[in-house]
Chains A and B, each alone.
Chain A
């Protein structure tokens, strides 16, 4: 079991560029989440999904889009990156509203 994996691990973007972060889980979990972690802020929920084909906004959704076309994958997109989106992004998954399992993170820098 790989658990939750994230691709890529690191990325540097220029302002205005776009990119997609990929999250994959092999635990057959229904729920998947995207968080961002900033110094002194803890983790904040960006978007989440309670099942294939469904997504919902979290606490800080602006500037991000998501898709859950397959149960095991949850994609996070940045259409036009801004320096304020420099952060570490974590994906997580869970079975219903039980404990969440986290991926190793993606460190994104926007110049």
Chain B
């Protein structure tokens, strides 16, 4: 079974400061990992993903995440926060059915990012 834990339901940073959103996962198979962003009253938009290969992945809007197998982590970072980054962020791991096929994503509960001026 797969699960995702996001530490901190709310994270507040100052504009221009480092953004760090934490995600830990458990997976019985090699994980596919995703970060999505949700702006108010909108659907989810993919920020970045890790499937195989390079463990440091870069996404849109200056975000990046590093897959660390030994720590079962996939933390999201951005060097300098902008006001426009204020949103809800979700970490997700691909889930597999008993037959081995993909059957959706398991999401963390989300982290609300607040940017202080």
Contact = CB atoms under 8 A, between A and B. Distances in A.
Contact of B42 (A43, A97, A104): A104
Contact of A58 (B45, B103, B109): B103
Contact of A90 (B41, B43, B101): B43
B110 A97 contact: no
Contacts, number: 60
A10 to B, nearest CB: 11
Q: Is the interface of A mostly helix, strand, loop or mixed?
A: strand
Given A42-B108, A43-B90, 18 more contacts: A4-B43, A31-B102, A33-B104, A41-B109, A42-B4, A43-B107, A45-B95, A48-B103, A48-B104, A92-B44, A99-B34, A100-B46, A100-B104, A102-B36, A102-B43, A102-B44, A102-B45, A104-B42
Interface in A37-68: 40-45, 48, 50, 56, 58
Interface size class of A (residues with CB under 8 A): 20 to 34
A63 to B, nearest CB: 18
Q: Is the interface of B mostly helix, strand, loop or mixed?
A: strand
Contacts of B46: 99-101
